[in-house]
Amino acid sequence: MIIPHTELAADTLYSIIESFVLREGTDYGLEEMSLAEKVAQVRAQLDSGVAVLVYSELHESVDIVPKDGLEFVEE
């Protein structure tokens, strides 16, 4: 299920994005970036619609995924 990120409280959204960028294996290329820069980059992707928040009922978790990578869109 897609969660509209604009409906979340700012601190909740920040925490979700921060958790996402701190995951091991998240690659941002050769250039080092600060946590704030990474969070801003992911937030921009959410704002532009390139990425979306997805809630998994099965895993009871929220993830950030590329919108074009979804097999189906449930809105």
Tell me the per-residue pLDDT of 34-67, one tens digit each, with 9 for 90 and over: 889 989 999 999 999 999 999 999 999 999 999 9
Determine which of 1-5, 25-29, 35-39 has the lowest per-residue pLDDT on average.
25-29
> Is 1:44 a contact under the CB 8 Å cutoff?
no
Report whether CATH 3.30.70.100 matches the domain 2-69.
Answer: no
Query: What are the C-alpha distances in Å from 45 to residues 53, 59, 66?
Result: 11, 24, 9
pTM as predicted: 0.81
Q: Which pLDDT band holds residue 70 (cuts at 50, 70, 90)?
A: confident
Q: Which of 67, 25, 21 is nearest to 48 (CA)?
A: 67
Task: Domain ranges for the chain, please list them.
Answer: 2-69
> Is 64:46 a contact under the CB 8 Å cutoff?
yes
